[in-house]
Amino acid sequence: MDDRDDTGARHDARQRIASGSPFEATIGFSRAVRAGDRVMVSGTAPIWPDGSCDPDVERQAARCLEIIVEALRQAGARPEDVVRTRMYITDPAYADPVGRAHGAVFGPARPAATMVVVAALLDPRWRVEIEAEAILG
């Protein structure tokens, strides 16, 4: 994805991926952005298409990861391309189930990963939010 034309002028070469989240338009963000060989996936919450949220934290993490994998696919990336993840959890007791869900998707890639306990997430039903970065190549 070259971001310069033949005159050398720079152009926006970003590919923006939308997921249909109601927050994308109001907050002004993309689910993911591909810039050259990099794909950055925004913090992803455990929301099902009907707006529901399973109370089980491992299912929530799996749902976050399903959304992330789909955004990666739309940007031309795969889970194996992921080099960095960040997991935000609202209780230290959630570390093991969230870690299992993360390992099921990213275990072979073994990206650099961070898990942080936070006071709260945007919706009180959410127990986890995950973001990811990939490099193609």
pLDDT tens, residue by residue, 46-58 = 999 999 999 999 9
Residue 103 pLDDT greater than 60, yes or no: yes
pLDDT tens track for 6-53 = 555 555 689 999 988 777 888 889 999 999 999 999 999 999 999 999
Q: Tell me, yes or no, whether 8 lies in a domain.
A: no
| 16 strand-pairing partners | 33
Q: Residue 32: which domain range? A: 14-135
Residue 1 pLDDT greater than 50, yes or no: no
pTM, entire model: 0.89
Torsion angles phi and psi, residue 12, rounded to 5: -75, 110
Calculate the CA 77 to chain-centre distance: 12
Which of 131, 137, 136, 112 is CA-nearest to residue 68? 131
Q: Tell me, yes or no, whether 87 lies in a domain.
A: yes
Coil, strand or helix at 6: coil
- In this structure, the strands spanning 14-17 and 112-117 are unpaired
Q: Tell me, yes or no, whether 6 lies in a domain.
A: no
